[in-house]
Structure 1
């Protein structure tokens, strides 16, 4: 065998597909490549060829992935192929053989290496970017573009992506910024996919077996029968006389929760079409469609599904399979203590695992996820109930994928899943080399339209859109490495800017059409008496001034209100300016736990001892702390004794205060504005066009011309702003950094404070750096530091924000109060520079972090309500931020506290690596 590709291909037990061979030959030509192919199609073969070429040529190859679990899996794959001496692993908290010729790492690690100018980059020839479509992710996506733009020109890229509808556009950008990137697209699944519907106790084909592409008429008949039954039921009388009752139940249903709807007929002989989970699994087993992944779009739903399956008599494994599954569980769980096992419900998990059923979601402990993944990959585990994150994660293909519902919560509302999401989920169906075909099963729900399901299954649209935006950390790193001017040019070459420029392309044609329409309107407005454009302009100016007058009368002060609310702490006594709760109140919970744009809604005790949530009607003017009281530990609004204790302290505090200040007067309307409106109205009446008999007709055409002119000019201005948006935002960020001293005067050099900021990779990077600079984090012990740092990285889910949260002690409360003041000051500065305000601090994890850093046992911290997986992930985020601060060149005392804190929290389940 003469060619490198032949030698490489000989190491596989299967022949390479045409698209794999094509992509590998592009690498032989010295080009980079973008490979877009369905999940499970074998894209990683192309990435592995880059590692093979690196070893053959004596150069390095970095294999990057978006998450640690994928990095660990790929590390083990490459070790099995090349041996441990040739392969390294870097995931932030794990470093193995980092100077090896092949190093697997998360993309963030590579980004940090580029900015630090790491010597490990020397000799780098190839970078494989697995799951590169992650650059569309709002929070983590920009890292991919930073790497693509920051790598040396000599490095060749191998980008592996899921099937996207604009792969050619993405490839064109890559070719523009990297040079000679070739695009290889394959839409053929290596294992064909058959679509089904789970209907009662049956698995029914979605499409007619004898007519491809035509919806199964049996399913259409079921839908018609349901619709008819629903119409007939609505006609029946209802009431206490028993003459009729509803036939459709939208209660808990068999899948649990309000989102689980099931049709039940009032005719006892009619079928129940929506299957239970046990019915689905039994039908899959009868049809020999196991193993299967059942996608449920909530963590609690996954756990509930496993419990429901275990409450039935389902046993999906043989005795020998159950024994091997127990061996897998015990091997991975050997490091868990008895107390940890009890806290995790280990015995319940293993019992279900042995019967062939398990859950997989982000709330699980990494060690449990590792058990589930190995059990499934070996074919012993028959059913995994998972959230959609599994579709974007490690390699866990199944014979069948089941989707319970085609609606999921997107963070703001319940919405239909998109064709791209459907494709991503069903991409797990069909194991290459094992299954002749894969199977996708959608569970029947009341009101389901089989034609809509068929349309969803037939479309393959999954556009890749950049989420890139400059950050403070990115700005100081770019200025430090390439200088201000070149940094601007680098950002102008981002994929985000590339797509903006593409979208602006058709604007010229629309502008020409508008100009012609404007000319026609002006011709229709022409009048012998005078200039109707001038007359219409005067009328418009009067309307605009009147609107401005109304706005001034309203006296909007939203920014001042937000700033005053954002610095409130528990125990602050304020004067509520208006509404039914006007008067003195003591803050119980500041209500600042949320994302950008959320208005704080404090929980407060008012004079009559009620605890109420203050809304916009109460807080329409800035508020200020007038006094402070101590909130009882673990205060709960429903605890009468706690309210009484707080009320007594509240009365003592307000007794020393004067009466609550009256509400600030509204701003006085400008007399000059009123005079200007009066003068313009007089000029309108004396204008020659005012007496025209066709005045309103002419004015209407003139106003249309003017409105279209404004629209055209606004569109042109918007296009200019969008075309400059990335570099413009970068410039505004640099102005903020310069005003705070992170960039030296002129903004072309990074200061000492800027070098600290360059090592802090966090959503609240600037707030963190300011807190360090102002000494906010000084003189805390390790447990207190863990609690305070958690407020900078933790973000509670919407359902958790209704629970009051507290800082663990007065020192932490005072520190977070100072931290809130820093955040508010940064927010005001950002507002002045037209930048988005930073998100609020979130104290929802502070007590848990404090307890763990103080040595509390696992069962104690989990009693606070965290799931084990969330707890470990959040503690690791706190540890990651502490490690960044310790290594950022800060005061040695603070760095020492950070290191002591790391020693205190990196124990037990938190210290177990992702691969255990």
Structure 2
């Protein structure tokens, strides 16, 4: 890594007049050795110090440094912090629509801005924007997990020249080693600096209607015995448990000196209601009240329209709400007052946990589950840790407190699980975009682009995931090779013929068995009919559980006795002078014919026909009958072969015998046991199919992102943005745009439909192109600007064509607006933007919409952002460029404009 060789000796004790933690010293040593670093440590542990050291070193060597963050608000905060540390002239800011002192040696920016800078230069080269840059700090690097924006971090790392050191600062994640190994592969020598040490340790508590109690036992690894259910099975008696009221919890915290607190509630409305429900409850003393009044009054005098209805009075008492629906200026005041220790509780959504420097002594997590786009679910371990990590102020608190609360749906068991669970792993969110394709193809060949796509963290993780598949393919292929060698001398057709014959023999035997059963049933009916009138002396042939069917026992019927059902029992004497008691089912035949065709009977003396139930034994008298029976039938018992009385059975038996002869004489016997050979052949076929499936899945996973890239190319070609793989003028214009669907924005802007719209109409149209359709119950009292609506309607055919192509190629980038909402919901937003551009007051604007102030600001800022890109898009007509600049001037006023002190 080509880091500046200028030798500098930085006195760490002068820079940081306190003892550095081990992981901080290790990171500094790695940086000084020329390696990039991944610093993975808990929230509040002091990771930022490593970034600050990198800045000190760059300044001492006359170099520059980029400091990137995931959020504009965090970038603004870093700007203020670094100005205080290094001087205002040393620090600049880039956040898309704001550019301050951009040539400063310390340049703070959002990560998207850094990625966009890299697009303009061939990958691996240092472009003009990176001249003199020694290092880039990627703060909050765990944002790679963000479903919508995570791909920006991967692209930034892939595109960053290897000469530039990377300082990736991340909260605790489970697979920091994988992230580090990936950086080693795609960027250069990188060292993992991992620490689970928290300067301010956390203690976990659980609150219910009875109080606030320690959540874990003495080992801090299991739930406290006091919180375990007392009844068997752990089920709650008397219905679902109640949640404790927030005033009760805050009283408990105040009594234990555990304030200030951030009280997390996963709903904007819930946060606002919480402030209202506090009533006249106050958490500040007289001195703090006076300070609050001074600060708040001064703010309101400067920004009279910024005061939140229903929120000013609670703020005087040290109580506030903080969420995305609040005016940014008001949120800034809340953050400032909280950092000063004047606000004692902030009811906040989880967005506050995302990097903003607002640590508290205590965090209260009101519920352990949340509603998401994918349904209601338990918090992930990382979400829980991110919020819990806000507890404990370094240098102010000896311990940070995390309080989880009982709800009707979650209790201490779930809280203990999350408190002791490890962090979640980073999951790649890499996904190619139209902008990525166009920007890469302007400076790279297709093969170079493919190489870059395959260097993503997603591909690295996929490769790790595919290693077991690779191993499985190797093992299966080895087994298949052995079988191929063993079966090489044998023709596959011989194996197939033998297998078909084997299957046919099974089928013919099955059919034979079926015919035999049918014949037996018919014969049994005939025998049963004749047995009804059979006299003593009738010769019977018996089978049974002790007699083989193939050699039935000849016997003479002596008498009949009453049976268990309608059929009688037959008392018979065998040729062996043994007695049998048989049923109809035991008789397989019942007479024999002599040579003349007469049926022979054996005379039975009347004295043998005893009463039913009497015991009979073979005697000398019965021996004579047995001998006569032997003489009558001879020593050859009749065959029980069904074929003897069923011709169809005889015919089928011959078929079975013929097929069996073919198998017995098959040439496959020459090579060994045919059964074993067939088993090997079947195993070979199964192996071939299994290997094919593994290989198909491997190829699909390995080429997934590249296939997405190719699909985007096809769509771009269809709309004339690419000539083969070379960007056209339309493609170059589209490449200059940043948004959720760059192709749609490029097609819209270059369509000519907006070229002559007045600035306020243009602002309304741009709002529709970049704003997600709000909830159906949202409303405004403003009519849509007709010229803007007309321009969008003319683009409806283009939108439909793009939707169809995206569907065909399985591309899911959004295309706003949704035309079915154009007249009402979206049209109302367009009217709102138009009215703001025409000069309506903020109070009147917000009074005519159901949207929160923060949402209105967000819509207007997104509109300003797309308008600010238009002047930089190649080939845009001068009229559109001029109107875009004028529209920005009309929109960018307080409280929409970002005031950076």
1:74-473 map, 5 Å:
74-117=78-121, 119-209=128-218, 212-221=220-229, 227=235, 229-230=237-238, 248=240, 262-263=241-242, 274-309=243-278, 311=279, 313-337=280-304, 340-341=305-306, 344-345=308-309, 348-446=310-408, 448-473=410-435
Matched, 1:740 2:719: yes
Match for residue 830 of structure 2?
Answer: 846
Give the Cα separation in 2 of the matches to 1:764 and 1:139: 12
Match for residue 752 of structure 1?
Answer: 729
Match for residue 672 of structure 1?
Answer: none
1:488-499 map, 5 Å:
488-499=450-461
Q: Tell me if the contact between 2:8 and 2:61 (Cα under 8 Å) persists in the aligned partners.
A: no
Give the Cα separation in 2 of the matches to 1:756 and 1:141: 25
2:794 aligns with one of 814, 818, 827: 818
Match for residue 776 of structure 1?
Answer: 753
Match for residue 795 of structure 1?
Answer: 772
Matched, 1:69 2:88: no
In the TM superposition, what is the alpha-carbon distance from 1:702 to its structure 2 partner? 11
Pick closer, same or farther for the CA change 1:226–1:492 going to 2, 3 Å.
closer
Match for residue 601 of structure 2?
Answer: none
Give the Cα separation in 1 of the matches to 2:680 and 2:843: 74
In the TM superposition, what is the alpha-carbon distance from 1:750 to its structure 2 partner? 2.4
1:873 aligns with one of 858, 865, 873: 858
Match for residue 894 of structure 2?
Answer: 908
Give the SS at the match of 1:762: coil
Give the Cα separation in 1 of the matches to 2:148 and 2:777: 21
Give the Cα separation in 1 of the matches to 2:679 and 2:375: 42
Give the SS at the match of 2:363: strand
In the TM superposition, what is the alpha-carbon distance from 1:487 to its structure 2 partner? 2.1
In the TM superposition, what is the alpha-carbon distance from 1:783 to its structure 2 partner? 2.4
1:35-46 map, 5 Å:
35-46=39-50
Give the Cα separation in 2 of the matches to 1:442 and 1:393: 21
Pick closer, same or farther for the CA change 1:17–1:821 going to 2, 3 Å.
same
Pick closer, same or farther for the CA change 1:165–1:534 going to 2, 3 Å.
farther
In the TM superposition, what is the alpha-carbon distance from 1:754 to its structure 2 partner? 1.8
Matched, 1:22 2:7: no
In the TM superposition, what is the alpha-carbon distance from 1:179 to its structure 2 partner? 0.7
2:884 aligns with one of 877, 895, 898: 898
Give the SS at the match of 1:196: strand
Q: Tell me if the contact between 1:831 and 1:837 (Cα under 8 Å) persists in the aligned partners.
A: no
Match for residue 547 of structure 1?
Answer: none
Give the Cα separation in 2 of the matches to 1:470 and 1:491: 8
Q: Tell me if the contact between 2:97 and 2:868 (Cα under 8 Å) persists in the aligned partners.
A: no
Corresponding pairs, count: 704
Match for residue 618 of structure 1?
Answer: none
Give the SS at the match of 2:357: coil
- Structure 2 stretches lacking a partner, 5+ long: 1-5, 122-126, 488-493, 505-658, 664-677
Match for residue 63 of structure 2?
Answer: 59
In the TM superposition, what is the alpha-carbon distance from 1:708 to its structure 2 partner? 8.3
Give the Cα separation in 1 of the matches to 2:270 and 2:376: 15
Pick closer, same or farther for the CA change 1:301–1:704 going to 2, 3 Å.
farther
Q: Tell me if the contact between 2:740 and 2:813 (Cα under 8 Å) persists in the aligned partners.
A: no
Give the Cα separation in 2 of the matches to 1:6 and 1:103: 21
Give the SS at the match of 1:908: coil
In the TM superposition, what is the alpha-carbon distance from 1:507 to its structure 2 partner? 0.7
Match for residue 840 of structure 2?
Answer: 856
Give the SS at the match of 2:795: helix
Provide the TM-score with structure 2 as the length reference: 0.73
Match for residue 693 of structure 2?
Answer: 714
- Structure 1 stretches lacking a partner, 5+ long: 231-246, 249-261, 264-273, 536-687, 693-698
Match for residue 639 of structure 1?
Answer: none
Match for residue 723 of structure 1?
Answer: 702
Give the SS at the match of 2:169: strand
Give the Cα separation in 1 of the matches to 2:897 and 2:130: 29
Give the Cα separation in 2 of the matches to 1:838 and 1:93: 23
Give the Cα separation in 1 of the matches to 2:501 and 2:835: 75
1:564-713 map, 5 Å:
713=692
Give the Cα separation in 1 of the matches to 2:52 and 2:890: 39
1:476 aligns with one of 421, 438, 442: 438
Pick closer, same or farther for the CA change 1:891–1:446 going to 2, 3 Å.
same
Give the Cα separation in 1 of the matches to 2:208 and 2:74: 36
Give the Cα separation in 2 of the matches to 1:174 and 1:807: 52
The superposition leaves residues 168-221 of structure 1 with CA deviations (integer Å, 9 ceiling, x where unpaired) of: 000001111111111101012111111110121511011235x54342222114
In the TM superposition, what is the alpha-carbon distance from 1:356 to its structure 2 partner? 0.8
Q: Tell me if the contact between 1:328 and 1:374 (Cα under 8 Å) persists in the aligned partners.
A: no
Q: Tell me if the contact between 1:294 and 1:404 (Cα under 8 Å) persists in the aligned partners.
A: yes
Give the Cα separation in 1 of the matches to 2:732 and 2:13: 47
In the TM superposition, what is the alpha-carbon distance from 1:819 to its structure 2 partner? 2.9
Give the SS at the match of 2:843: helix
Give the SS at the match of 2:727: coil
Give the Cα separation in 1 of the matches to 2:810 and 2:690: 23
In the TM superposition, what is the alpha-carbon distance from 1:801 to its structure 2 partner? 6.2
Pick closer, same or farther for the CA change 1:446–1:707 going to 2, 3 Å.
farther
Q: Which moved more, 1:901-910 or 1:356-365?
A: 901-910
In the TM superposition, what is the alpha-carbon distance from 1:511 to its structure 2 partner? 4.0
Q: Tell me if the contact between 2:779 and 2:849 (Cα under 8 Å) persists in the aligned partners.
A: no
Pick closer, same or farther for the CA change 1:727–1:324 going to 2, 3 Å.
same
The superposition leaves residues 303-326 of structure 1 with CA deviations (integer Å, 9 ceiling, x where unpaired) of: 1111111x2x42101122122123
Pick closer, same or farther for the CA change 1:715–1:821 going to 2, 3 Å.
farther
In the TM superposition, what is the alpha-carbon distance from 1:516 to its structure 2 partner? 9.7
Pick closer, same or farther for the CA change 1:225–1:455 going to 2, 3 Å.
closer
Provide the TM-score with structure 1 as the length reference: 0.72
The superposition leaves residues 583-604 of structure 1 with CA deviations (integer Å, 9 ceiling, x where unpaired) of: xxxxxxxxxxxxxxxxxxxxxx
The superposition leaves residues 50-74 of structure 1 with CA deviations (integer Å, 9 ceiling, x where unpaired) of: 1011001111011111111111111
Give the Cα separation in 1 of the matches to 2:719 and 2:501: 53
2:873 aligns with one of 868, 888, 891: 888
Pick closer, same or farther for the CA change 1:321–1:743 going to 2, 3 Å.
same
Give the Cα separation in 2 of the matches to 1:704 and 1:355: 78
Give the Cα separation in 2 of the matches to 1:403 and 1:86: 40
Give the Cα separation in 2 of the matches to 1:446 and 1:701: 60
